[in-house]
Amino acid sequence: MLRLFERAIDPTREPERPQPPPGLLAFYWHFARQAKGLFLALFVIELFVALLDAAIPYFIGRVVTLVTNVPADRFLAETWPLLVGTR
């Protein structure tokens, strides 16, 4: 199961320049360069999770607004597309 992650980075590979360059950003990039694809994937996944986390309060607010504005006897008949996620 973890073989994909084990093969993603070769931690024992000799870097092009063994000694890291001076400067903070250059130092970080020296070590992050070997896994830049993984860092990009992590950034995209975390962005998706953050957007989903931000959407939950918005959706709950929409549901509360619908509950207060739509009569109870017609609630599901009128709001089912929003509740299912098709609208």
The 10s digit of each residue's pLDDT in 47-56 is 999 999 999 9
Question: What is the average pLDDT score of the chain?
Answer: 85
Which of 86, 81, 51 has the alpha carbon at shortest distance from 66? 81
What pLDDT does residue 10 have?
73
Measured CA to CA in angstroms, residue 22 lies from 7, 12, 13, 26, 63 at distances of 30, 22, 21, 7, 54
What pLDDT does residue 23 have?
92
Is the pLDDT assigned to residue 28 strictly greater than 90? no
What pLDDT does residue 54 have?
93
What pLDDT does residue 47 have?
97
- Over residues 16-31, the mean pLDDT reads 84
What pLDDT does residue 39 have?
86
- Over residues 68-82, the mean pLDDT reads 88
